[in-house]
Amino acid sequence: MAWVITRMCRDCVDMACVEVCPVDCIVQHKQKGDAAGYENQLYIDPEECINCGVCEPECPWEAIFEDEQVPTVFDEDTAQNAKIVDERDDFEVPEREDVAVPSTDDINKNKAKWKYDA
């Protein structure tokens, strides 16, 4: 797997990353978080990702990491992203919705919520 979207995306779902992805590998569960085992967040399909990295700087929540760089606190998120391959028909590339850009304070609170010290 090349890139991983961590739980810092959960319930934030900015989708700026979706707009820049050249291969449409960033997806969301069709039930948008109501599905068992999948939270309301975006995922990267590891079989479609071309490892270009253009998604990472677009994420205002700083939720995207290269797989080798995923912080230990988010180890489970790597497996969760990989798991979507087996259930790909339940996922789709979402339509971009306008959302407010998070403030630095919002980002820091989200990091603290997930116990991530950058």
CATH number at residue 49: 3.30.70.20
Residue 67 lies in a domain: yes
Candidates 80, 85, 74; CA nearest to 36 is: 80
Residue 36 lies in a domain: yes
Candidates 49, 20, 37; CA nearest to 83 is: 37
Q: Which has more pLDDT, 36 or 16? A: 16
**DSSP letters along 22-87, please?**
TT--EEEETTTT-STT--SSEEE-TTT------SGGG-TT--EEEGGG--GGGHHHHHHHHHGGGG
Residue 40 lies in a domain: yes
What mean pLDDT do residues 2-9 have? 94
Average pLDDT, the chain: 91
Residue 19 lies in a domain: yes
Q: Count structural domains, the chain.
A: 1
Cross-sheet strand order for the sheet of 91-92: 42-44, 26-29, 91-92
Residue 39 lies in a domain: yes
pLDDT range class, residue 47, cuts 50, 70, 90:
very high
Global pTM value: 0.91
pLDDT of residue 42: 95
pLDDT of residue 71: 96
**pLDDT tens digit sequence for 58-100:** 999 999 999 999 999 999 999 998 999 999 999 999 988 778 8
Rounded Cα–Cα distance for residues 26 and 49 (Å) = 8
pLDDT range class, residue 35, cuts 50, 70, 90:
low
The residue segments making up the domain with residue 85 are 3-98
Residue 117 lies in a domain: no
Candidates 56, 60, 54, 65; CA nearest to 99 is: 60
Residue 111 lies in a domain: no
